[in-house]
Structures are given as structure tokens and as C-alpha cells.
Amino acid sequence: MLLSRVLPSNTTLLPASSRTRAAPLRCHRVPVGRAITVPVRCRSTMTIQARDTPPVLDIEPQPLKLLDRGTKLKIAVIGFGNFGQFLARTFAAQGHEVLAYSRTDYSDTARSLGVAFFDNQHDLCEQHPDVLLLSTSILSAEAVLRSLPIQRLRRSTLFVDVLSVKEFPRNLFLQLLPPDFDILCTHPMFGPESGKHGWAGLPFVYDKVRIGDSDDRVERCHAFLEIFEREGCRMVEMSCAEHDETAAEIQFLTHTIGRVLAKLDLKSTPINTKGYETLLNLVQNTCSDSYELYNGLFIYNKNSTELIEKLDGALDGMKKELFDRLHGIFREQLFDSSGRRPIDVGN
């Protein structure tokens, strides 16, 4: 019977005679749960017993409603070390909901910043954050990303990284993340030391690697970038390849010079010049970052190898120039203009 295929399984039918024609019906409001009796011109009637049915669950979460929430984001920070805490402090101060995960127990620190700390990645991902921010070391980024239970996230989650190299995480995201996820590669060109007095004027580099066309996904990406705009950062949109080529000179070179100077064990003196003070500050700023970061800048930026070879060649060239000049001075002291050795009047 076709009717049985349409009506819910918990609906009760009382069949009526098929030889009679139904009389015209009048519409009346009937309370839920009450029986509806349909009169017909025969001895029997057809009764439909309407019952409450359970709601249908939507397994896939509804699209983001960022405009309804005043562009406030739920941001999950993966890697809640020094730099992750540095960023989370500003995120929370701007009113965003911040979640954090780390292998180390930072629950007390997170509580003081107004951040919800999770010691289990599954529990964090089940919170369905709008943005998942990868703030690990460069060397551990791949292992951390592979360990994430991304199947528990919204299919359109925005993945962001803040690593100091860019082509490596870009390729990693494209390789490991399903095509539904959005990807934004960023690099705040500052840290807890250089940004401790504010972010105004400091450069923030970003590359919109893969952002969906829908309004809510475009708005979400804009809302995240707006965090740094509001703090006064100098926003620089740049491809990951261009970033790495430029950063090898301005970042890896800076770290290399700072760590070379650190090996000289430079000390402050009573007669410091401004230039010498600059060198001491360079040592402090670069060596306050972990050696793991410096090592990552070398391993995961293909431009760093060429740069360190140029630096080595430049140092050798400078040494050769100095010793050549020194040799020339000795020759002038040993020989007169005629090329003869000067006479020692003492002998």
C-alpha cells in the first residue's frame, strides 16, 4: 500500500472500506497526540494516530555564523609553549575564545590567561574550533600535525601556522589535510622579546594558500587577520616561496651572526659604544630563542644553505683582504722605495 510507505512507522492506520467515497472534510486544529478521525460514508472509518517523533540529528555541524557572533573566533592553539602563550594572551584580550593543547601541563598558565587547556587532542578537536593554530617548533610540526584527530573537526576548519619558514608548512598542509580544510600560512616577524611592548609597526606576513569561496569562510579568514591589524601590525601579503627567500637574509643571517658572537662570550664594559651595545642586544635577542628554532631555519629553508656559504666566503674574503694589507705594510717597513732593505744605523 503506497500510504504505508509515506507515513511514519509509528503511525496507526485503521483501514476503511475501499468501495465508498470520502465526504468533504473541514480543517480543524487538533492537539498533538490526539486521534484524528476522518468521516466517510460507510460503516467503518480510517483513524490516523499522530505521535511525537524524535528529532533528526544533523551530523555535520552547521556553517559558521561569524557575523552573528560579532566576528569572535574560537581558536585552538596547538603547542602552548612560550610563543603560543604570547599569541594566546592577545587573542583572549580581544575577546576570542581560546583553547590550548600541549604535551606539557600548562593548565595553570592557561587559566591565568583566560584560556581553556586540554591535555587530550580528541577532547580539544571535539570543541569544533573555527581556527586551529599550529604553534609548534619547526622540527616537530609534521609529527604533531599527523597526530591530530582531524576527523573530529569541522570539515571546513581553518588551519593556520606561525612557523618561521613557510614553504615547508604549506606543502605539509596540502599533503596531509583533506581538500575541504582552509589553509592560511602566516609568520609574525616578532616574538615575546621583540613584541613585549606591543605589536604596532611590526611586520606580519601571510599567504592565503586555500580559502573557500563562501562568505562565512572568507569572513573567518579576515577575522583572524584582523587580530593582527587591530594590534597595529604592518600586514604583508607574500607568497611562501618569496617569504623564505627573503627571510633567509633577514632572519637566518641575523640568528647566525648573533650565535657566532655568543661563542665569543662578549661582556659589557664601562666604555661600551652604541655599536657594541647593538651587538650585545643582538646576542640576547637571538639566543633567547631555542637552538631548535635556529636549526629549523637552516634545515627547512632551502635558501639558508646558500646564504651560509656566502657568509663563509665573505668572511674568508675579508680575512684575505686584511692579511694582504698587513703584508703590504710589512713590506713597506722592511724595504725602502728602491726595493732595497733600509740600512740599520745601529749596526
Grid coordinates of 305 = 644553505
Question: Is there a single domain that holds both residue 213 and residue 97?
Answer: yes
* pLDDT of amino acid 71: 78
- The lowest-confidence range among 2-6, 90-94, 131-135 is 2-6
Residue-level pLDDT at 266: 93
Quick one: average pLDDT of 141-167?
A: 97
The residue among 129 and 3 whose pLDDT is bigger is 129
State whether 269 and 205 are in the same domain.
Answer: no
69-76 average pLDDT score: 85
Query: Is residue 149 domain-shared with residue 280, that is, in the same domain?
Result: no
What are the b/e assignments for 229-246, b being 16+ CB within 10 Å? eebebeeeebebeebbbe
How many CB atoms lie under 10 A from the CB of residue 285?
15
| Final residue before a domain boundary, out of 238, 255, 271 | 238
* Position 67 in a domain: no
**109 and 198 together in one domain:** yes
- Report the Cα–Cα distance between both ends of the chain, in Å, rounded: 135
Q: Determine, yes or no, domain membership for 62.
A: no
| Helices and strands: H and E segment counts in the chain | 12, 11
- Set of cell numbers at residue 181: 580544510
Helix (H) or strand (E) run with residue 339 in it:
none
Domain total of the chain: 2
- Residue 230 and residue 292 in one domain: no
**Max intra-chain CA distance, the chain:** 152
pTM score, whole prediction: 0.71
Indicate if the pLDDT at residue 183 is higher than 80. yes
Q: Are 204 and 233 in contact (CB under 8 A)?
A: yes
Residues 18-48: pLDDT tens digits?
444 444 444 444 444 444 444 444 444 444 4
Tens digit of pLDDT for each residue in 207-239? 999 999 999 999 999 999 999 999 999 999 999
Residue 15 or residue 296, greater confidence: 296
Would you give the distance in Å from CA 46 to the centre of its chain?
63
- The domain that holds 105 is classified in CATH as 3.40.50.720
Q: With bands split at pLDDT 50, 70 and 90, how would you rate the model's confidence at 344?
A: low
Mean pLDDT for the chain? 83
Q: For residues 316 and 32, which has the higher predicted lDDT (pLDDT)?
A: 316
The CA angle 174-177-178, to the nearest 5 degrees, is: 105
3-state SS class at 203: strand
3-state secondary structure of 27: coil
Q: Amino acid identity, residue 96?
A: H
Residue 9 domain-assigned?
no
Instruction: Lowest mean pLDDT of 3-17, 88-102, 169-183, 269-283, name the range.
Output: 3-17
Range of the domain at 189: 74-238
On whether both 176 and 258 belong to a single domain, the answer is no
Is residue 69 very low, low, confident or very high in pLDDT (cuts 50, 70, 90)? low
Q: What is the mean pLDDT of residues 281-304?
A: 90
Q: Are residues 195 and 122 in the same domain?
A: yes
Residues 123 and 160 in one domain: yes
5 in any annotated domain: no
Structure confidence at residue 249 as a pLDDT band (50, 70, 90): confident
Comparison of pLDDT for 63 and 329, the residue scoring more: 329
Look at residue 171 and tell me if it is in a domain: yes
Final residue of a structural domain among 238, 264, 288: 238
Asked if residue 57 belongs to a domain, the reply is: no
Residue 168 lies in a domain: yes
DSSP codes of every residue in 261-309:
HHHTT----TT--HHHHHHHHHHHHHHTS-HHHHHHHHHS-HHHHHHHH
* CB contact at 8 A, 162 and 107: no
Is the residue at 260 inside a domain?
yes
Of 214, 238, 262, which residue is a domain's last?
Answer: 238
Share of the chain above pLDDT 70, in %: 76
Q: Is residue 179 located within the same domain as residue 217? A: yes
Q: How far apart are CA 286 and CA 139, in angstroms?
A: 18
Q: Are 179 and 321 members of one domain?
A: no
pLDDT greater than 90 at residue 127: yes
Per-residue pLDDT at 65: 52
pLDDT of residue 288: 85
In 39-190, alpha helices (H) = 82-93, 107-113, 121-125, 141-147, 167-176
Q: What is the pLDDT averaged over residues 319-337? A: 81
pLDDT band, residue 50 (cuts 50/70/90): very low
State how far the alpha carbon of 337 is from the alpha carbons of 51, 79, 333, 334, in Å: 118, 70, 10, 10
Q: Within this chain, do residues 180 and 260 fall inside the same structural domain, yes or no? A: no
Residues 103 and 181 in one domain: yes
State residue 343's pLDDT score: 57
74: β partners = 97
